[in-house]
């Protein structure tokens, strides 16, 4: 059973406009999702299966059907990755990749990429990472441009080490979920029309139970769920499913210790209101646009076409809402990509490198993935799941403050701000980051996750 659950939020603290017409597929997928939800008044799951109004989308609790634990013997050895193509020399940690079947009848299988800790893996916790979207790849984004051990170089062929990889402090498991995302698949095409939060949580739980049979040394290990964006839905619902089944004596006990979610999209209406307030306060939208939105939108399920049209008045521009100050990727006439300006540790063209690398059949074979066409999607500089929206959602909980708002530091500079509430909820901002915090501010993200795993708040070091 879980003894102490902490919930962290990555949010951001500086702002305003980088002109950008080519954001990442993950960013575009979420923006498309927000727009489609905004223009719809349907109160049940649509063709994409995602709806905050359907009862099953609220909290996964108990699996509706019995599931089986399949024989996992000898599969761990088969999943071990010798080396990834272009991998630098001197890699001393183990890597694994492969599939776990979660529905034998339909042939539904989820792909994973697992990297053990760089040192003392046997003593370090197990951390699951889920990208958002909904429907974006944890291997492509989480592992390859955010918190994984490698970054793909601009030649699309070689890798370099990520100094601030999270496997410095944990054993990290990247899960492609639901089926149809990244390398995960189903042999039953109708499965792709039925993906929803409920089934995503159930499939992820079945994946974990079977994966732990494949890697039995991690049974009972301290386990944490982490993610970003739409993982604000995925992570809590998976946690609820785990805790419910932990109470059944015949089930495997998954030693869940906490949840960490960056830039979480928790409540779509609070998110929309927070987005508008954030953009207006940072000069991205005019007083007239704000007045039109305020007139036509109540930020509730009753909002209709007039609200959608008012929102589209700002949504059709070319400002990147995921990092409103960041450099952009420019597509040159010769077909090459290059950043508009250099920011150490951040390359806005990384999405193009990922697409080329993960669609290389040699890379797919090394990962033990099916040879197929990989698609990426089937901070305070982030305005789509902004700091304001998260603060509105936290405020709705009505929790008492146990640790007042204070700065935390990275290299003796303010890294952001932190506040703790009753029940173990912690709100953290990361200064100068965009939507994908480990991508924009990798060192600060590592400080936050290291503190989280120790059960501590990020440090504050006074200037001497």
Q: Is residue 334 flagged as an active site residue?
A: no
**What whole-number distance in Å separates Cα of residue 30 and Cα of residue 25?**
9
Long-range contacts of 308-316 (CB under 8 A, 24+ apart): 308/38, 308/39, 311/38, 311/272, 311/276, 312/35, 313/289, 314/279, 314/284, 314/285, 314/289, 315/31, 315/35
- Computed on alpha carbons and rounded to an integer, the radius of gyration of the chain in Å comes to 21
Marked catalytic residue, from 197, 226, 382, 451: 382
Q: Is residue 120 flagged as an active site residue?
A: no
Nearest to 192 by CA among 124, 279, 277, 103: 103
**What whole-number distance in Å separates Cα of residue 108 and Cα of residue 110?**
7
Query: 265 is written with which tokens?
Result: 């999209």
Does an H or E element contain 425, and which? strand 425-430
Tell me how many degrees the CA angle 214-193-201 measures, rounded to the nearest 5. 40
Q: Is residue 383 flagged as an active site residue?
A: no
Q: Residue 223 pairs with which residues in a beta bridge?
A: 126, 256
Marked catalytic residue, from 9, 229, 383, 429: 229
Query: CA-CA distances (angstroms) from residue 60 to 159, 218, 226, 354?
Result: 38, 24, 17, 33
> The tokens 């429907």 sit on which residue?
135
Marked catalytic residue, from 233, 282, 368, 435: 435
- Give the residue numbers marked as catalytic: 229, 382, 435
């Amino acid at each position: 059973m879980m003894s102490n659950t902490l919930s962290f939020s990555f949010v951001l603290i500086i702002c305003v406009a980088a002109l950008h017409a080519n954001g990442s597929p993950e960013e575009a997928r979420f923006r498309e999702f927000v727009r489609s939800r905004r223009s719809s008044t349907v109160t049940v799951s649509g063709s994409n299966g995602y709806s905050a109004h359907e009862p099953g989308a609220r909290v996964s609790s108990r699996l509706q059907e019995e599931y089986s634990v399949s024989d996992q013997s000898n599969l761990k050895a088969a999943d071990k990755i010798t080396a990834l193509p272009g991998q630098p020399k001197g890699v001393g940690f183990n890597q694994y990749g492969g599939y776990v079947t979660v529905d034998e009848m339909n042939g539904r299988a989820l792909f994973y990429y697992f990297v053990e800790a760089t040192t003392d893996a046997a003593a370090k916790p197990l951390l699951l990472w889920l990208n958002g979207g909904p429907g974006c790849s944890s291997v492509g984004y989480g592992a390859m441009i955010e918190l994984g051990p490698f970054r793909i170089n601009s030649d699309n062929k070689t890798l370099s080490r990520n100094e601030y990889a999270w496997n410095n402090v944990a054993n990290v498991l990247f899960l492609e979920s639901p089926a149809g995302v990244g390398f995960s698949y189903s042999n039953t095409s109708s499965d792709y029309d039925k993906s929803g939060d409920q089934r995503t949580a159930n499939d992820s739980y079945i994946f974990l139970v079977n994966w732990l049979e494949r890697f039995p040394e991690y049974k009972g290990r301290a386990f944490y769920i982490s993610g970003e964006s739409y993982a604000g839905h995925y992570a809590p619902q998976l946690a609820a499913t785990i805790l419910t089944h932990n109470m059944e004596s015949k089930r495997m006990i998954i030693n869940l210790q906490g949840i960490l979610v960056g830039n979480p999209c928790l409540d779509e209406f609070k998110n929309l209101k927070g987005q508008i307030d954030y953009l207006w306060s940072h000069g991205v939208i005019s007083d007239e646009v704000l007045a039109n939105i305020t007139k036509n939108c109540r930020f509730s399920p009753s909002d209709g076409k007039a609200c959608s049209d008012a929102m589209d008045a700002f949504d059709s521009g070319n400002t990147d809402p995921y990092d409103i100050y960041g450099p952009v990727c420019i597509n040159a006439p010769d077909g090459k990509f290059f950043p508009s300006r250099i920011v150490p540790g951040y390359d806005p063209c990384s999405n193009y490198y990922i697409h080329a690398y993960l669609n290389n059949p040699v890379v797919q074979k090394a990962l033990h993935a099916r040879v197929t066409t990989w698609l990426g999607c089937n901070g305070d500089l982030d305005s789509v799941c902004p700091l304001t929206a998260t603060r509105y959602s936290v405020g709705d909980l009505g929790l008492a403050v146990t640790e007042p708002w204070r700065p935390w530091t990275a290299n003796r500079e303010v890294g952001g701000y932190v506040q703790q509430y009753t029940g173990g909820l912690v709100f953290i901002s990361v200064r100068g980051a965009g939507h994908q915090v480990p991508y924009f501010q990798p060192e600060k993200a590592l400080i936050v996750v290291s503190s989280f795993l120790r059960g501590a708040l990020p440090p504050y070091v006074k200037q001497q």
